[in-house]
Amino acid sequence: MTDPLRVPHVVSSHELARWPRLTPVRFTVLVALGAVLIASIGEVAPGPDRLIGALPRMASLLDRMVPPDTDPAFLGRMGLRLLETLQIALVGTVFGVLVSFPLAWLAAKHVSPLNMGRWISRALVSLFRTVPDLVWALFFVSAVGLGAIAGTLTIIVDTAGFCGRFFAEAMEESDPKSREALEAVGARRIDILFASVVPNCMPSFINTSLFALELAVRSSVVLGIVGAGGIGQELKSAFELFQYPKAATIILAIFVIVLLMERLTDWLRQKMG
Amino acid sequence: MNEQVWVGAGAQVRAPLDQVTQGSCPPIVLEARGLGKQFNTGSRVLEAVDFSARRGERIALVGSNGAGKSTLLRCLVGLLPFGDGTVEILGQRFSEQPNRRQRAALRRRLGFVFQFHGLVGRTSALSNVVNGALGQGYGWRAWSQALAPKQLRADALDALAAVGLSDRALDRTDTLSGGQSQRVAVARALVHRPELVIADEPAASLDPVAGAEVMRVFHGLAEQRGATLVFTTHDLQHALDYSDRVVGLAAGRVVLDSPTVHLRASDLEAIYRD
């Protein structure tokens, strides 16, 4: 009996191309990218001789870091700095999320009450996101002076850029049918936002905010290097004063804090999922 | 088949707006004249459509996929702009699209039920029904049942009871079955007691039993509340059972407009064959 699924092929398998055809444009782009990569490796990548030469110095540095400093007075001071770091991250994230929400709404296609004007909001979110946090920290240290306030402002801007983009994407992808249904009953854009978009996007908003908190903890650790408060300031001092055991304690503390924060946000994500 | 039911004869059941009196003939609440619509792709989806509905009438719109039924409904209520013709609906006359003021006035007196219920899945059935009053000037108080004023909350619960779902009022709608969800959508459309209810294939996404139940509840409620009803359907039995008049569309044109009593299922099947 003939198998009904076996029908004669119009073309045989060896006639079908396995790979997409390499057009002249694709070929040119590939060659250009390859050239840029090879040139960059030659300029900035460490050569084997440099790496081998640095190994003894790395070993010596690690040797001087052991054992980490456990002086109670130092641990107490470091604990306060760690607390400040977490405060910067938490307050910065909460305010950053609050700032990003209206920005995302104004920027989101089909959800925003603005037409062309939404590009202004989109551009602002891009600016916040693309400028690195250390650059924002330098800006705010110059504007408001050394300390935690500059760090908090940096995290607010950083979070607004990160959440602004992902909140806007979530809003754009939210169920269009429920949006249309509310539009049909005469809902305004702000009504649609709070009655349909926010409930539909809530899991995504929570996930993004928790990621933002994780990022904020990592960022706030290094902000002190440019004088924007937190544990980074202690780390910078320890290295500058060749107090390597102190630096080792701080690095271990940062590792534990970031790890705990990741575990906490994972747990919260599971609970709220 | 009775030839008289085809277009031309359909004009017998319509009368121009200026000839309508408040006597035996109920006034026209919805009228489209020469409605034409072309999509950006260049395809014309509606061609010189004349269509009207009198107060209290129940009209079934039938036609094959792509005939223009859903587009016609969306143009009539201002959800889609159209190119040619005019629409007069609940006293608002517009070309292309209603302006903001007209749209607001229209939505206050109109209910719309979609093929796919369009409920907000992560909120309760009661909140979804409360949302149906968003065009009634409640503002933020209609965002959720928790914020709703007492009267609106009671009305929403009444509407849910009318569709037999008051016991599921606080359940999230993504836990309801397809039929239950569509009944919540009916309650949402009727919570503000609209004069005109437009429904785009309200039973299409449901199994036959749930579909019949939704149509029965929907039709009963509209009748009880004296609302004019315009619905599209592919179920010819629904068209015959729940309408006073059937309008058939094919390739964007009205090809049938007849009182339902003159029709048999075979008459309607002809629209799908042509």
Section B71-81 average pLDDT = 89
Find the length of chain B: 274
Distance from the Cα of B54 to chain A's closest Cα (Å) equals 21
User: For strand B228-232 and strand B196-200, is the pairing parallel, antiparallel, or unpaired?
Assistant: parallel
Q: How far apart are CA B250 and CA B237, in angstroms?
A: 19
Instruction: Compare A98 and B104 and report the one with higher pLDDT.
Output: A98
CA A201 to chain B, closest CA, distance in angstroms equals 9
B26: distance to nearest CA of chain A, Å? 25
* Distance from the first to the final alpha carbon of chain A: 53
Q: Tell me whether residues B77 and A194 touch, CB distance under 8 A.
A: no
Tell me, what's the pLDDT at B5? 43
Say how far apart CA A172 and CA A80 lie, in whole Å: 42
CB distance B118–A185 less than 8 Å? no
The tally of domains found in chain A comes to 1
pLDDT in tens, A74-91: 999 999 999 999 999 999
- Determine the 3-state secondary structure of A257 from DSSP: helix
Number of A:B CB contacts under 8 A?
78
Q: What share of chain B is helix, strand, coil (3-state, %, to 5)?
A: 40, 25, 35
Residues of B with CB under 8 A from a CB of A: 77, 79, 103-104, 106-108, 110-112, 114, 116-123, 127, 131-136, 139-140, 142-144, 185, 188-189, 192
> What confidence tier does A1 reach under pLDDT thresholds 50, 70, 90?
low
**pLDDT at position B197 over 70:** yes
Residue B17 scores a pLDDT above 70: no
Residue at token pair 């782009």: A29
| Nearest residue in chain A measured CA to CA from B106 | A186
Ramachandran quadrant class, B264 (left: phi over 0; alpha: psi -120 to 50; beta: rest): beta
Contact A126, A245 (CB under 8 A): no
Closest to A195 (Cβ–Cβ): which among B111, B112, B120? B120
Strand partners, B172: B124
Q: Are B230 and B70 in contact (CB under 8 A)?
A: no
For B196-220, what is the mean pLDDT? 84
Angle at A29 between CA A27 and CA A32, to 5 degrees: 110
Asked if residues B199 and B72 have their Cβ atoms less than 8 Å apart, the reply is: no
Helix axes A48-65, A244-272, angle to 10 degrees: 100
3-state class of B176 per DSSP? Answer: coil
**CA A241/CA A77 separation, integer angstroms:** 17
Q: How far apart are CA A28 and CA A30, in angstroms?
A: 5
Mean pLDDT score of chain A, rounded to an integer?
90
Report the pLDDT averaged over residues B51-62. 91
ipTM for this prediction: 0.78
Average pLDDT over residues A135-163: 94
Which residue among A184, A199, A200 sits closest to B79, beta carbon to beta carbon? A184
Closest-CA residue in chain B for A200?
Answer: B122
A181 contacts on B by Cβ (under 8 Å): 112, 114, 117-119, 185, 188
**Would you state the structure tokens that stand for residue A56, as one six-digit string?**
């003894």
User: Cα distance from A110 to chain B (closest Cα, Å)?
Assistant: 14
Q: Mean of the pLDDT values across residues B97-120?
A: 86
Give pLDDT, residue A134: 92
**The pLDDT of residue A4:** 60
- At residue A5, the pLDDT reads 62
Residue in chain A nearest B74 by alpha carbon: A184
Secondary structure (3-state) at B227: coil
Cβ A194–B143 below 8 Å, yes or no? yes
The alpha carbon dihedral of B256, B260, B265, B267 has a sign of negative
Tens of pLDDT, residues B110-164: 888 888 889 999 999 999 999 999 988 899 999 999 999 999 999 999 989 888 8
Looking at residue B220, its pLDDT comes to 83
Domain residue limits at A192:
72-272
Q: Which tokens belong to A112?
A: 């925003």
Per the domain annotation, does A147 fall within a domain? yes
| pLDDT score of A30 | 94
Question: Has residue A160 been placed in a domain?
Answer: yes
- Lowest model confidence (mean pLDDT) among A6-15, A188-197, B43-52, B264-273: A6-15
Work out the average pLDDT over A133-137: 92
Retrieve residue B89's tokens.
């609906």
Beta strands in chain B (DSSP E): 28-38, 44-54, 58-62, 84-89, 92-94, 110-113, 196-200, 228-232, 245-250, 253-259
* Exposure of B196 in the CB half-sphere (CA atoms within 13 A): 26
Q: Is residue A101 part of a domain?
A: yes
Q: Do A194 and B140 touch (CB under 8 A)?
A: yes
Percent of chain B with pLDDT over 90: 34
For residues A11-38, give the mean pLDDT.
Answer: 87
Distance CA A179, CA A61 (A): 60
Q: What is the DSSP letter of B257?
A: E
Backbone angles phi, psi at A181, to 5 degrees: -60, -40
Question: Which residue is listed with tokens 């590792």?
Answer: A255
Mean pLDDT of A196-219: 93
| Residue A201 domain-assigned (yes or no) | yes
Lowest-pLDDT choice from A46-50, A206-210, A216-220: A46-50
Q: Find out whether B116 and A192 touch, Cβ atoms under 8 Å.
A: no
Find chain B residues with C-beta within 8 A of A182's C-beta.
118, 131, 134
* Length of chain A as a residue count: 273
Q: Categorize the per-residue pLDDT at A273 as very low, low, confident or very high, splitting at 50, 70 and 90.
A: low
Q: At what angle do helices B178-190 and B208-224 cross, to 10 degrees?
A: 10
Closest residue to B114, CB basis, from A181, A191, A196? A181
pLDDT recorded at residue B21: 43
CATH number of the domain residue A120 falls in: 1.10.3720.10
* Termini Cα distance of chain B: 14
Superfamily classification of domain B1-106+235-274? P-loop containing nucleotide triphosphate hydrolases (3.40.50.300)
Q: Measured between CB atoms, which of A177, A178, A185 is closest to B135?
A: A185
Which residue, B225, B219, B227, B221, is CA-closest to B260? B219
Task: Give yes or no for a contact between B225 and B202, defined as CB atoms under 8 angstroms apart.
Answer: no
Is the pLDDT confidence value at B6 over 60?
A: no
Tell whether the model's pLDDT for residue B22 goes beyond 50. no
- B20 pLDDT higher than 90: no
Does the pLDDT value for residue A6 go beyond 50? yes
- Are B117 and A191 within 8 A, CB to CB? no
Closest in B110, B122, B140 to A199, CB measured: B122
Nearest neighbour of B118 by CB, restricted to A178, A194, A202: A178
What's the whole-number mean pLDDT along residues B185-205?
A: 88
Average pLDDT over residues B171-194: 90
Model confidence at A162, pLDDT cuts 50, 70, 90, reads very high
How far apart are the CA of B261 and the nearest CA of chain A, in angstroms?
32
**pLDDT score of A3:** 65
How high is the pLDDT of residue A253? 92
B124: closest chain A residue by CA: A199
pLDDT in tens, B254-270: 998 999 998 888 888 88
Q: How far is CA B30 from CA B33, B59, B72, in A?
A: 10, 11, 12
Task: Give the start-to-end residue ranges of the domains of chain B.
Answer: 1-106+235-274
In a domain, A128, yes or no: yes
Cβ of B118 within 8 Å of Cβ of A181? The answer is: yes
Ranking B18-22, B31-35, B242-246, B257-261 by mean pLDDT, the lowest is: B18-22
The verdict on a CB contact (< 8 Å) between A184 and B107 is: yes
Q: Give A245's contacts (C-beta < 8 A, 6+ positions apart).
A: A64, A65, A66, A67, A68, A69
Name the residue in chain B with its Cα closest to that of A197: B120
